[in-house]
Chains A and B, each alone.
Chain A
Amino acid sequence: MTVLNSKIPQGPVSEKWTYYKAHQNLVNPANKRKLDIIVVGTGLAGASAAASLGELGFNVKIFCYQDSPRRAHSIAAQGGINAAKNYQNDGDSVYRLFYDTIKGGDYRAREANVHRLAEVSNNIIDQCVAQGVPFARDYGGLLDNRSFGGAQVSRTFYARGQTGQQLLLGAYSALSRQIKKGTVKMYNRTEMLDVVIVDGKARGIITRDLTTGKIERHFGHAVVLGTGGYGNVFFLSTNAMGSNGSAAWQVYKRGACMANPCFTQIHPTCIPVHGDYQSKLTLMSESLRNDGRIWVPKKKEDAEAIRAGKLKPTQIKEEDRDYYLERRYPAFGNLVPRDVASRAAKERCDAGFGVGSGLAVYLDFSSAIERLGKNVIEQRYGNLFQMYEKIVDENPYETPMMIYPAVHYTMGGIWVDYELQTTIPGLFATGEANFSDHGANRLGASALMQGLADGYFVLPYTIQNYLSADIRTPRMSTDLAPFAEAEKNVQDKINRLMSIQGKNSVDSFHKRLGHIMWEKVGMARTKESCTAAISEIKALRQEFWKDVRVTGSATEFNPELEKALRVADFLELGELMAKDALNREESCGGHFREEYQTAEGEADRQDDKFMYVAAWEYQGDGKEPILNKEPLVYENIKVAQRNYK
């Protein structure tokens, strides 16, 4: 059993980070040159870390599976990035951002980490502006803000509906500058397939060149994973097609703990599923909830008529519409946090008031267009409206959008301490790949904030505290036994997959897994559904290893093999998610156990039993993992039932 030491510095929460930085060990410039760092992933968390570490003088190698580092899925984030600048003079502060994030996470995040995140949030905005990120501005030339769910202030900075793109291109440009300088070496179209542990410390990775299939060994004094989330375990999600949980799963099997894997964010505003050929779901930014009003018909017969195509939404009179979020949560209205909005949509649809296929609700801009004019709405959301129209073939200026919740983000992830270090010394995890800052539910516009906070302003400090003890460790040969063992492990897995020559495609297994996960470990979970999911996933996994068909060969560009390797890991990770959901006998944030709800249908936390981080530790194939618990202590925030009414 691993002892989880979160290494939270001493002192009051607002001074912990200052204290840490003042007392940590650093590496001098001459020694930095002698130290190699591997970064996996080129999203916000990976690219910003690699660029910053390169600037400091470390030797960095960075890897991505895409054809260019600029394609990582951070690029798809639409709405914005939070910071406690209080430029709007509306009462924001570091404390309030800290408080909102802890509360939004339903009191399942670590106070010290979240406070640090709120502290550095302002530096991120300054950094990005200096990089030339074209944030939205007012006519006076200063930065503009908008509101996001779970906050009563306007603290979200944005670049139209493409904030993630602009922030990622900022980090990519900083990374490109270091690549040119030679401090960072870039490996495109290269996927990590295992981590190498030498004498108990992470010392390298095994990769596959996706163009040639060549397996390669890479040494690093430390390894950083910025590999994103595992939402694609559900097959249909808003993640990119290639997003996967394999790096996290490989390090889990080498001894890192997986924390709160069941904490999944279901985003309330996505374009509904329309066919079984569908490959992914498209998000409509939460920022739309600033001006869009969510409703379903008040009368069941109206909903039925709409579903049958006999009635149009624009024909439903105002008094016959149920703006259920405004009705249930008058204080926050349409801007309640994501988990609350998603469950409310499911509740209405399950009760028979859904539109479209029955699994959809309306997001209506007519009153905003009336109030502000069409051109204002076009300026604010033009590209999102265009995206919607291209997919659905309906004009949202004229008829309300149809939306439904979809899997979007995983709050759970690799367990890390205050230094973002996993339970494997020398192995760090940043951004969505770790579990630390969002508790059981992430607030909108906080993912970009966390990814960049970790990469620009946290890891470049904390990794030095680790590496300072390593300055006498020379570069290791990749001929060492642990490298050979890890490479063999990878090669064996590939050979096994290629030799099955079964009858069913990789995608067919992935879809079946996604179906189990969505139905049984999705928006609402029960003891029975989680138990059933565990046994169904086990059976599916056995079938996969007997009957999957991977065409082509392992020594060529072969997307089928890439998918097979990822789905093989999802088939194990999904089971752990179900186990974690089964263990957590409470409802909190995105984790809703039907047995634990209030009379009004709100999440009913069980703080006396579950105010802890569940960090699962691998024990070997077929063996039950050990559950380690990190108790969560709230000294600065009064724990209460979340109330958005």
Chain B
Amino acid sequence: MDFTLKIWRQDGPEAKGKFVTYQIKNISHDCSFLEMLDQLNEQLVDKIEKPVCFDHDCREGICGMCSLYINGRPHGNDSGITTCQLHMRKFKDGDTIVIEPWRAKAFPIIKDLVVSRTAFDKIIQEGGYVSINTGGVPDGNAIAISKVDSDLAMDAAQCIGCGACVAACKNASAMLFVSAKVSQFALLPQGKPEAKERVEKMVAKMDELGFGNCTNTGACEAECPKEIKLTNIARLNREFYAAKLS
């Protein structure tokens, strides 16, 4: 398969970026999207040009490091996957593919398609944990937890922190990300003692770091590679109001 690629190139955080067009030929339809970019980069190295920088690591859809806004969609034109799980068979021979970085004030561009998502770490540092030290905890089976709640907590806990929700949102809101972590703990007895401070601090930090507000468009849910549900945002709102009213 042959493709025309329009890729965002930007030398550094302060540099001015622009789209650069590349041609790539003879790509197997079983090839993954990132392996297609690997081949482009090999060509660029061959021509003594700088390869396109993009984030990636596990290449099996779980580390959350890969990103990319592909033809107007985070992680490309498929559902329930990350960019590293996208395969070229999802495109047509001869397609033009536009590749951009995540665009959000809270995710500054480092270079080309690479952005900083340290803002997510900072939100977690505000309260995305149970405040216990190592050791001195009760037996794992000391507290029974209903399978329903435990499964719902797991649904939320699957978030990989990739930032697709922010990239998809017209307001660059991090509500889905924050709600996933708040929900995981809200559903489990271990999270109850700190529920109030957790939600207040995480939401305050989210606002402080420049993420936008949620206007219920649902783009985040549609693009989430782990299919985290909007109901988590509803739960976040309930937790937040409960905290404010108590």
Contacts and interface: CB of A to CB of B under 8 A. Distances in A.
Interface of A: 48, 51-52, 55, 66-73, 75-76, 85, 87, 122-123, 125-143, 159-160, 162, 164-166, 169, 172-174, 176-177, 179-180, 186, 188, 211, 238, 240-242, 274-275, 277-280, 282-283, 386-387, 390-391, 393, 456-457, 460, 505, 507-508, 549, 551-552, 556-557, 559-560
A128 B49 CA distance: 47
Interface of B (DSSP majority class): loop
B128 A173 contact: yes
B103 to A, nearest CB: 17
A160 B62 CA distance: 13
8 closest cross-chain pairs (CB), A and B: A141-B144, A173-B129, A130-B137, A134-B154, A129-B140, A134-B153, A180-B125, A52-B134
A557 B157 CA distance: 32
B58 A240 contact: yes
Given A48-B134, A179-B125, 9 more contacts: A75-B63, A85-B140, A129-B190, A174-B129, A386-B80, A390-B85, A391-B85, A549-B48, A552-B50
Contacts of A135: 140, 150
A138 B147 contact: yes
B141 A87 contact: yes
A123 B137 CA distance: 8
Contacts of B31: 275, 277
A39 to B, nearest CB: 14
A165 B62 contact: yes
B56 interface: yes
Interface string B36-47: 001100101110
B87 A391 contact: yes
A67 B144 contact: no
Contacts of B59: 240-241, 279-280, 282
A551 B87 CA distance: 28
Interface stretch (B1-9, B113-121, B235-243): B113-121
B137 A129 contact: yes
Nearest to B42: A505
28 contacts: A51-B134, A66-B63, A67-B117, A68-B121, A71-B64, A75-B62, A76-B60, A87-B141, A125-B140, A126-B138, A130-B132, A134-B151, A137-B145, A140-B144, A141-B145, A142-B141, A159-B157, A162-B62, A176-B128, A241-B59, A275-B30, A279-B35, A279-B59, A456-B134, A505-B45, A551-B45, A556-B12, A556-B111
A177 B48 contact: no
Contacts of B11: 556
B208 interface: no
B35 A242 contact: no
A127 B135 contact: yes
Contacts of B78: 390
Contacts of B23: none
A70 B64 contact: yes
Interface of B: 11-12, 28, 30-32, 34-35, 38-39, 42, 44-46, 48-51, 53, 55-65, 78, 80-81, 85, 87, 89, 110-111, 114, 116-118, 120-121, 124-126, 128-135, 137-141, 143-147, 150-151, 153-154, 157-158, 160-161, 184-185, 188, 190-191
Nearest to A65: B57
Nearest to B78: A390
A551 B50 contact: yes
Contact of B30 (A68, A69, A274): A274
A127 B137 contact: yes
Nearest to B189: A132
Contacts of B130: 130-132, 173
Nearest to B131: A177
Contact of A66 (B46, B57, B133): B57
A507 B38 contact: yes
A186 B46 CA distance: 37
A169 B64 CA distance: 12
B110 A211 contact: yes
A160 B154 contact: yes
Contacts of A174: 129, 134
Nearest to A85: B140
A48 B133 CA distance: 11
B46 to A, nearest CB: 7
A549 B43 CA distance: 12
Given A172-B124, A393-B89, A551-B51, A131 B190 contact: yes
A275 B11 CA distance: 32
A36 B110 CA distance: 30
Contacts of A126: 137-140
B57 A131 contact: no
B77 to A, nearest CB: 13
Contacts of B188: 132, 134
A75 B184 contact: no
A335 to B, nearest CB: 23
A174 B132 CA distance: 8
A140 B145 CA distance: 8
A275 B30 CA distance: 8
Contact of A73 (B53, B63, B121, B144): B63
B138 A560 contact: no
B57 A71 contact: yes
Contacts of B55: 67
Contacts of B80: 386
Contacts of A552: 50-51
A217 to B, nearest CB: 23
A71 B150 CA distance: 24
Nearest to A507: B42
A136 B150 CA distance: 7
Nearest to B129: A173
Given A125-B140, A241-B56, A159 B154 contact: yes
Contact of A142 (B63, B133, B144, B185): B144
Contacts of A177: 125, 129, 131
Contacts of B30: 274-275, 393
B121 A176 contact: yes
Contacts of B184: 132, 134
B129 A131 contact: yes
A132 B124 contact: no
B225 to A, nearest CB: 11
Contacts of A55: 133-134
Contacts of B143: 129
A87 B144 CA distance: 13
Contacts of A242: 57
Nearest to B162: A71
Contacts of A240: 57-59, 63
A188 B45 contact: no
Nearest to A455: B134
Contact of A393 (B28, B87, B128): B87
Contacts of A73: 57-58, 63
Contacts of B135: 123, 127, 456-457
A188 B118 contact: yes
A203 B129 CA distance: 32
Given A130-B137, A507-B38, A76 B58 contact: yes
B140 A165 contact: no
A505 to B, nearest CB: 5
